[in-house]
């Protein structure tokens, strides 16, 4: 039986490339590992796989009866359906530990670094396994993506060191250039349906019994979103009204290093308190906010009394 190596829902570059890289590592250990993902490639990830010569992994949305290795998450909410009848054999991650449980001891490897790609780099190195040139290319891209070219507060010295090593293996002379190509691909939003933009990087969280959704769109400049802003505001209010306490949508300006936070909430004053800023027409500018995980989720959890 094949073992599926799979990343989280709303696949991002790290979750897809880490599935490919960890499946390659596992294959080298004799495991019949197959990379998988839970949805279509986003434009950034498509550019990365095209550039380094990989096909899109198989899409798996139902885990019933399957053996899985999880990369870039360990939350049931971010897993395929029917996890209760799946067997998790390994987890490699860089997030807080989620609520996936197992009946047997497993390989569980997580570190507080900027990217699962960095964790995988360490796994390859500590096992003395050579990294394939193409695999090194997509791992480089994942680290640049997750750390926003080293500017995210989640970035650590280990991420920078991993990129240095991986880019050399992959023969990438200009990682800034690769990052800009990825940023342009990911931030091109012209003509895309609002729901695609909303779901591009969206996660639901349980905060003290309240359902809170947080989405993010990373832009080269906020002006890119001007034409769709009103429709986004409407869409997040509809999403909130369909059973959530709050939906936040981060329009992150990667160059200016800050986020315009669009807010739909049963209690907007709670959000103002969380970020110590005032809402104007359901939005606030939060300077320096780049990372949902480090800068948006923790203040929200605090505000909700988690």
Binding site for Mg ion (CB under 5 A): 12, 14-15, 72, 116, 146
Q: How far is the CB of 115 from Mg ion (least distance, A)?
A: 5
The C-alpha atoms of residue 118 and residue 304 are separated, in whole angstroms, by 32
104 half-sphere exposure, CB direction, 13 A CA radius: 8
Q: How far is the CB of 180 from Mg ion (least distance, A)?
A: 18
Regarding beta strands 283-287 and 87-93, do their DSSP bridges make them parallel or antiparallel, or are they unpaired?
unpaired
Residues in the chain, total: 306
Nearer of residues 27 and 95 to Mg ion, judged by Cβ: 95
Nearer of residues 78 and 175 to Mg ion, judged by Cβ: 78
Residue ranges of the alpha helices (H) in the chain? 13-28, 43-52, 116-126, 133-146, 157-170, 175-187, 194-199, 229-241, 268-275, 297-303
Q: How far is the CB of 95 from Mg ion (least distance, A)?
A: 7
Q: How far is the CB of 128 from Mg ion (least distance, A)?
A: 25
The C-alpha atoms of residue 153 and residue 292 are separated, in whole angstroms, by 10
Nearer of residues 15 and 140 to Mg ion, judged by Cβ: 15
Nearer of residues 200 and 240 to Mg ion, judged by Cβ: 200
Nearer of residues 15 and 26 to Mg ion, judged by Cβ: 15
Nearer of residues 146 and 204 to Mg ion, judged by Cβ: 146
Task: Measure Cα distances from 285 to 223, 251, 275, 291 in Å.
Answer: 14, 9, 10, 14
Give residue number: closest CB to Mg ion.
14
Regarding beta strands 202-207 and 58-59, do their DSSP bridges make them parallel or antiparallel, or are they unpaired?
unpaired
Whether residue 142 contacts residue 14, with contact meaning beta carbons closer than 8 Å, is answered with yes
Q: How far is the CB of 145 from Mg ion (least distance, A)?
A: 7
Q: How far is the CB of 209 from Mg ion (least distance, A)?
A: 25
Query: What's the DSSP call for residue 293?
Result: I
Nearer of residues 132 and 146 to Mg ion, judged by Cβ: 146
Q: How far is the CB of 214 from Mg ion (least distance, A)?
A: 11
The C-alpha atoms of residue 33 and residue 19 are separated, in whole angstroms, by 10
């Amino acid at each position: 039986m094949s073992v599926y190596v799979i990343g989280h829902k709303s696949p991002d570059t790290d979750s897809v490339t880490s599935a490919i890289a960890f499946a390659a590592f596992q294959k080298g250990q004799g495991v019949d590992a197959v990379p998988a993902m839970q949805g279509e490639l986003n434009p950034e990830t498509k550019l990365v796989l095209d550039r380094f010569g990989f096909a899109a992994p198989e899409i798996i949305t139902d885990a019933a009866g399957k053996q899985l290795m999880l990369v870039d998450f360990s939350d049931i909410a971010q897993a395929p359906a029917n996890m209760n009848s799946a067997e998790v054999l390994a987890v490699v991650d860089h997030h807080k530990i989620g609520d996936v449980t197992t009946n047997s001891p497993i390989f569980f490897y997580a570190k507080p670094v900027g990217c699962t790609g960095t964790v995988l780099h360490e796994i390859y190195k500590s096992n003395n396994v050579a990294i394939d040139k193409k695999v090194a290319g997509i791992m480089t891209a994942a680290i640049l993506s997750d750390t926003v070219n080293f500017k995210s507060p989640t970035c650590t010295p280990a991420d920078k060191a991993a990129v240095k090593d991986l880019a050399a293996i992959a023969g990438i002379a200009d990682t800034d250039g690769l990052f800009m190509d990825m940023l342009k691909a990911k931030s091109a939003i012209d003509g895309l349906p609002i729901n695609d933009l909303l779901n591009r990087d969206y996660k639901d969280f349980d905060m003290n019994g309240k359902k809170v959704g947080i989405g993010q769109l990373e832009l080269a400049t906020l002006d890119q979103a001007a034409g769709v802003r009103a429709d986004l505001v409407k869409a997040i209010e509809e999403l909130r009204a369909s059973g959530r306490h709050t939906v936040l949508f981060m329009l992150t300006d990667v160059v200016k290093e800050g986020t315009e936070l669009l807010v739909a909430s049963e209690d907007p004053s709670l959000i103002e308190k969380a970020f110590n800023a005032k809402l104007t027409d359901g939005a606030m500018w939060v300077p320096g906010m780049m990372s949902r995980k480090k800068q948006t989720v923790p203040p929200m959890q605090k505000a909700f009394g988690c």
